C-alpha cells in the first residue's frame, strides 16, 4: 500500500511500520511530499521519522489505537459492509438533536449510543448531531481539544464503531451530523508543527496559535483540513458537518477557506447523489457566512443563531449578566426582532462588546439557514455549574421554550435530554494525563469564574471523574417526564405538517408585549403564542381564521375575537389561514 506524508522542511523521512524502518523518497509531482509503498495488514502500527527523530503518528491517520501521540494503525476505509441503503436527508425541514457520545449513556460509547437511536426516531428528530470525535487525551472530554481530524476517539469505539453508529442511524431513518474543529488542535499529542507550517504565530486564538490558512505553505494546510472533512462525509456516509467557531479561522486570502470547503462539499454531494451540508458556529453575525458563493459569500448552508438563544434565555430566566445584558432589557422585543430579522445584532450597538456588531440578513434568506435552540452544549457547559434550564426555571416555561424552538422559523436543535426536561447538569470535564496541563485547565476554570463572583471550591474540577459522571444522562426518563416528551413529539409533528421548508425571513412576523410578557411569532401559516407572566392574558392574532392545534396547559386556552386567551405561563400553537380558506 502507499504511504505518503507532507513534510516540506525535512531533509529525510522514514516510514516506521511495526518493527521495520523504510526510507521514503520525495514525490516529484508534489513538492514537500514523501512517499513509499509497503505491504501492510489492517491494524499494523506505523508512523514517520523526520530527520532521524522519534516516530510520529501519520497526520492523516484514520485510527490512533493508543490515543494522541501513539502510532497510527492501518485502516481499510471500505471495510464496513453497509446494511442500510441511504439517499440522504437534507437540511430543509430538519430537526437536529445534539449529543455527546461520552455522556449520552453511562457506557459512553458509540455502540451504546446507537442503542438509543430508536428513542430519537420515535421522538421525530431528523438528524443526530454528534459532538467532536477526533482523538483527544484521556478517556473523557468534550472533544474540542482533539489532535487528529481524520480519526475517531478510540474509547468511543474508533472508526469501526462510527460506521456502525451511522449505519444504525440510517436504518432508523436518521441523518448524522458531526461536529468538527478546524480552528485549532489540542496541545497534547499534537506534532503537526514538526511536519510543516500548520500553524502561525501571526494570529492567536483563545486556544493558542492559529491554523495557517493564509501564510506560506497554507495551500497544503487548507487541503489537509478540507480533505479531512470530505473523508468523514465520504467514508462514514455522514450527512453534514457542524464547523466549530469559524470566527477563529483567520484567513486573509481572497477566497476564504469556508468558500473552498463549501464548494468541495457541494461537489461531493453532486458526485454521491446525497444532500450534504455544513453548519457553522460563528460569533460574527456576518451574512456572508451563508450567502451564496456566487454573491461573494462563503456558501455555508446554515449557521447557529446565538442571538435567538440569548433572547429566549433572558426571557425565561431574567439573567442579565455578560452577553445577556444586550438582550435582558426587553427580551421578548429582542426575540420578536430576531425571529423577523434573523439576527438581533445586525449592525446596531452592542453594549457587551462596546461597539457596533453584525450586519443585516436578506429578507429572502431561507429561515432554514439559521439554527435556533434553547440549550446547547456551550450554553449549558460553559456555565459555572453546568446547570440546564430545567434546574432553574418553572417547568411550565420549558413547554413555552419548546414551542418557540420547534414551531419557530429556524431549523430547530435540541440538546440531549432536553425533550424530557433532564435536570442532570452538563459540566466541563477533561481527562488530561499531563499533570501540568491538567493543573492549568483546573486553575484557568477557577480564575474564569472567580471574576464573576464564584468561590474556587464551588466550581467543579474538570479533572475530577465525578464531574463527568454527574453529566451523564439518566435513562430512562422519570414517569413525570412523559408529558414534556410527548409535547416535543407533538410540536415536531406540527412543524412537519404545517411549516413550509421554503420559508424565508420575509414570511415571518412577530409581535411582543413586554409589559404583559406576551409574544406571538408567525412563521408562514404556523403561529406560536406564549404568555410568560403568571397572569392570564389575551395575545392578539393577525386577521383570518385561527385553529388551535396544541396548547399547554390544555385547560384555559381559548380563542377570542381579539386573539387567543392564554393562562399564566402557557403556550398555544395555532394554524392561521386567510378568511375563506
364-391 residue pLDDT tens: 999 999 999 999 999 999 999 999 999 9
Fold agreement between 96-300 and 504-577: no
Partners of residue 55 on adjacent β-strands: 49
Query: Domain 96-300 carries which CATH code?
Result: 3.20.20.80
Q: What is the CATH number of domain 504-577?
A: 2.60.40.1180
The answer to whether the annotation marks 378 as part of a ligand binding site is yes
For the four alpha carbons of 472, 130, 302 and 487, in that order, the dihedral sign comes to: negative
What integer pLDDT is reported at residue 22 of this predicted model?
A: 97
CB 6 within 8 A of CB 26: no
pLDDT of residue 218: 97
Give the burial class of 109: count Cβ atoms within 10 A of its Cβ; 0-12 exposed, 13-18 middle, 19 or more buried.
buried
To the question of whether residue 219 is assigned a binding role by annotation, the answer is no
Q: Is the dihedral of CA 89, 91, 94, 96 positive or negative?
A: positive
Q: Nearest-CA neighbor of 135 among 121, 118, 148?
A: 148
* Whole-number pLDDT of residue 338: 98
Q: Considering 179, 281, 286, 419, which one is annotated as catalytic? A: 281
Would you tell me how many other CB atoms lie within 10 Å of the CB of residue 35?
17
20 is in an annotated binding site: no
The pairing of beta strand 240-243 with beta strand 175-180? parallel
Element (H, E) at 338: helix 331-341
Alpha-carbon span 95 to 496, nearest angstrom? 10
User: Catalytic site residue 244?
Assistant: yes
Establish whether 281 is a catalytic residue.
yes
- Fold classification of 2-56 (topology level): Immunoglobulin-like (2.60.40)
| pLDDT tens digits for range 463-515 | 999 999 999 999 888 887 899 999 999 999 999 999 999 999 999 999 999 99
Does residue 261 sit in helix, strand or coil?
A: helix
Q: Which of these, 226, 44, 75, 85, lies nearest to 158 by C-alpha position?
A: 75
DSSP state of 132: P
Sequence ranges of the domains in the chain: 2-56, 96-300, 504-577
> Has 22 been labeled as part of a binding site?
no
Among 244, 286, 346, 511, the one annotated catalytic: 244
Q: What secondary structure does DSSP assign to 276-337, as a single string?
A: -EEEE--SS--GGGTS-GGGTS---SEEE-HHHHHHHHHHHH---SGGGHHHHTSHHHHHHH
Q: Full-prediction pTM beyond 0.85?
A: yes
Q: Which parts of the chain have pLDDT scores under 70?
A: 578-581
Residue 88 known to bind ligand:
no
81 is in an annotated binding site: no
Residue 380 is labelled as binding a ligand: yes
Q: Give me the pLDDT at residue 581, please.
A: 53
242 annotated binding-site participant: yes
| The dihedral sign for the CA sequence 460, 183, 131, 296 | positive
Amino acid at each position: 500500500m502507499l504511504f505518503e506524508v507532507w513534510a516540506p522542511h525535512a531533509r529525510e523521512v522514514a516510514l516506521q511500520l511495526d518493527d521495520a524502518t523504510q526510507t521514503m523518497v520525495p514525490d516529484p509531482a508534489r513538492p514537500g511530499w514523501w512517499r513509499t509503498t509497503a505491504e501492510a495488514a489492517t491494524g499494523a502500527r506505523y508512523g514517520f521519522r523526520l530527520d532521524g527523530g522519534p516516530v510520529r503518528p501519520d497526520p492523516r491517520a484514520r485510527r490512533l489505537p493508543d490515543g494522541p501521540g501513539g502510532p497510527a494503525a492501518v485502516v481499510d476505509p471500505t471495510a464496513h459492509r453497509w446494511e442500510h441503503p441511504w439517499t440522504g436527508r437534507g437540511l430543509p425541514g430538519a430537526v437536529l438533536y445534539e449529543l455527546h457520545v461520552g455522556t449520552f449513556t453511562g457506557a459512553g460509547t458509540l455502540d451504546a449510543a446507537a442503542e438509543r437511536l430508536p428513542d430519537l426516531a420515535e421522538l421525530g428528530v431528523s438528524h443526530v448531531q454528534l459532538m467532536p470525535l477526533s482523538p483527544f487525551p484521556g478517556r473523557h472530554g468534550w472533544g474540542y481539544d482533539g489532535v487528529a481530524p481524520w480519526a475517531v476517539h478510540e474509547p468511543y469505539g474508533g472508526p469501526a464503531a462510527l460506521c456502525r453508529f451511522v449505519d444504525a442511524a440510517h436504518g432508523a431513518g436518521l441523518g448524522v451530523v458531526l461536529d468538527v474543529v478546524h480552528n485549532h488542535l489540542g496541545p497534547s499529542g499534537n506534532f503537526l508543527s514538526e511536519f510543516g507550517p500548520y500553524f502561525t504565530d501571526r494570529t492567536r486564538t483563545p486556544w493558542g496559535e492559529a491554523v495557517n490558512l493564509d501564510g506560506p505553505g497554507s495551500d497544503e494546510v487548507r487541503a489537509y483540513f478540507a480533505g479531512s472533512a470530505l473523508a468523514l462525509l465520504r467514508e462514514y456516509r455522514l450527512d453534514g458537518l457542524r464547523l466549530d467557531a469559524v470566527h477563529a479561522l483567520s484567513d486573509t486570502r481572497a477566497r476564504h477557506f469556508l468558500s473552498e470547503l463549501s464548494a468541495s462539499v457541494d461537489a461531493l454531494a453532486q458526485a454521491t447523489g446525497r444532500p450534504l451540508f455544513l453548519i457553522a458556529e460563528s460569533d460574527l453575525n456576518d451574512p456572508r457566512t451563508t450567502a451564496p458563493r456566487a454573491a461573494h459569500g462563503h456558501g455555508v448552508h446554515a449557521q447557529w443563531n446565538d442571538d435567538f438563544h440569548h433572547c429566549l434565555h433572558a426571557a425565561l430566566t431574567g439573567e442579565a449578566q455578560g452577553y445577556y445584558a444586550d438582550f435582558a432589557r426587553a427580551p421578548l422585543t429582542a426575540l420578536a426582532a430576531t425571529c423577523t430579522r434573523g439576527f438581533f445584532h445586525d449592525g446596531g450597538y452592542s453594549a457587551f462588546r462596546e461597539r457596533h456588531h453584525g450586519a443585516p440578513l436578506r429578507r429572502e434568506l431561507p429561515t432554514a439557514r439559521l439554527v435556533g435552540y434553547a440549550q446547547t452544549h456551550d450554553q449549558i457547559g460553559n456555565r459555572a455549574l453546568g446547570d440546564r434550564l430545567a434546574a432553574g426555571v418553572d417547568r411550565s416555561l420549558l413547554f413555552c421554550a419548546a414551542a418557540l424552538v420547534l414551531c419557530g422559523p429556524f431549523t430547530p436543535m435540541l440538546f440531549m435530554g432536553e425533550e424530557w426536561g433532564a435536570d442532570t447538569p452538563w459540566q466541563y470535564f477533561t481527562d488530561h494525563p499531563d499533570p501540568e496541563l491538567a493543573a492549568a485547565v483546573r486553575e484557568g476554570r477557577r480564575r474564569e469564574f472567580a471574576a464573576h463572583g464564584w468561590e474556587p471550591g464551588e466550581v467543579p474540577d474538570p479533572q475530577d471523574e465525578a464531574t463527568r459522571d454527574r453529566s451523564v444522562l439518566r435513562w430512562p426518563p422519570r414517569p413525570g417526564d412523559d408529558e414534556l416528551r410527548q409535547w416535543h413529539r407533538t410540536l415536531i409533528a406540527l412543524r412537519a405538517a404545517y411549516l413550509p421548508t421554503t420559508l424565508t425571513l420575509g414570511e415571518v412576523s412577530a409581535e411582543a408585549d413586554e409589559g404583559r410578557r406576551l409574544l406571538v411569532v408567525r412563521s408562514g401559516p404556523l403561529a406560536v403564542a406564549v404568555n410568560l407572566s403568571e397572569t392570564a392574558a389575551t395575545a392578539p392574532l393577525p386577521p383570518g381564521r385561527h385553529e388551535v392545534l396544541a396548547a399547554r396547559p390544555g385547560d384555559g386556552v381559548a380563542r377570542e375575537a381579539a386573539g387567543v386567551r392564554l393562562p399564566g405561563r402557557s403556550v398555544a400553537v395555532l394554524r392561521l389561514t386567510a378568511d375563506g380558506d
